[in-house]
Structure 1
């Protein structure tokens, strides 16, 4: 079950919106990526938990990820409790990711920042030997990811680095649009929400394009990091 990257989102569609292009690129490069949704998004104005589950499954196929799970924590009421921490620790030890991609540390939806801290703390706790967890009644080995990177969501958080997703933007948009109940549809009779507008849909492209403009590529996704990153050398840095 080990994966190279584990992408975690408070709600189904968070990872697609925040780092979908990066996920698709990683998989194209031969990396393994799994996704965990913390809640079912059951408090969302549009759609239901059932439709979101179906949409998440469709999006997973487009992304090409190895697996996707939903922890069914309480939407709108995420908290940094021992119970929630241990549920995530179990998954970290199950998948043993080298890198975790998590929600934005500051965002419009309160669940996003709460999830960012919850996941960060769980990653640390997952490396403590005296915390015992089990998978199918079998004791799990301790595991602590090397890095936690936070993707950018609603707010224009200044990224500490970007990933070039040129060539993958269309597939990212396709994965996002798998959530048919959530985003812009002029024929929908459901209430209009901030993410269900035409402007928001268009922003997925122009925000990635703007980060690309600033970094010398066509399209990019931005991330923040919890600890200072050391480069072995300057290979791989894109210079315009």
Structure 2
């Protein structure tokens, strides 16, 4: 399945929180978008791996993405090593995305920068023809594929973005997909233990970060990203 954008997160809900509005906007424009979760979030304090599976499925439907796949790596303990890189390379070569969006380059949760580095390294290695991979039932070696660009969304830490995407009109869809993770986020009636992301302040922060980034560039809402190479434009008039 050829995708325009492949969004990857260490845990189910990372993608929704980091770039959900961007994905919803691109889907509305006819782009083919997929999501990969590296783990099932099985170490999360609230909920279970099974509830996360269901919530991730519901969130994907809300965003309208073409596919969602879970790598089932070990939550908290996966590594950026050859074994895990090869598994990600197989997925990149299978989906052949033009753009990959992945975890923040630095963050509170150790899986986020690990996932960021893992995906970034795999995107580069995926373009090397001497790395041979076979995926699924096919006995034929996969063809090399390297995305045109890798972008990193922003998570817990307020990292200054290199580029922002105007997502005005798509924040409601983003928040609906985020709140599909009913066991994870603010619920005044929940009997689950409190966590850093279960407070109302956290849920509110998702909206006000997007509103503040939008304010800084003159739109209603925006999502920010860091880049791995310079962003090139054809003309200054392309900049909003």
Q: Which consecutive unaligned segments of at least 5 residues does structure 2 have?
A: none
SS at match of 2:27: helix
> 2:151: which partner in 1?
149
Question: Shift of the alpha carbon at 1:138?
Answer: 2.6
1:125-184, Cα deviation, whole Å (9 max, x unpaired): 100001110122331110000100000000000000100000000110000000000000
Measured in 2, the distance between the counterparts of 1:217 and 1:40 equals 35
> 1:37: which partner in 2?
37
Q: Does 1:46 align with 2:46?
A: yes
Measured in 1, the distance between the counterparts of 2:148 and 2:55 equals 31
Q: What do you get for the CA RMSD once the two structures are aligned?
A: 0.7
Please point out which of 190, 199, 202 is paired with 2:201.
199
Q: Does 1:128 align with 2:133?
A: no
> 1:82: which partner in 2?
82
Question: Shift of the alpha carbon at 1:78?
Answer: 2.2
| TM norm structure 1 | 0.98
Report 1:101-180 matches (<5 A).
Answer: 101-135=101-135, 136=137, 137-180=139-182
SS at match of 2:71: strand
Question: Shift of the alpha carbon at 1:233?
Answer: 1.6
> 1:220: which partner in 2?
222
Q: How many residues of Structure 1 are paired with residues of Structure 2 in the alignment?
A: 238
Q: Which consecutive unaligned segments of at least 5 residues does structure 1 have?
A: none
> 1:229: which partner in 2?
231
Question: Shift of the alpha carbon at 1:79?
Answer: 1.1
> 1:92: which partner in 2?
92
1:180-214, Cα deviation, whole Å (9 max, x unpaired): 00000000000000100000011111110000000
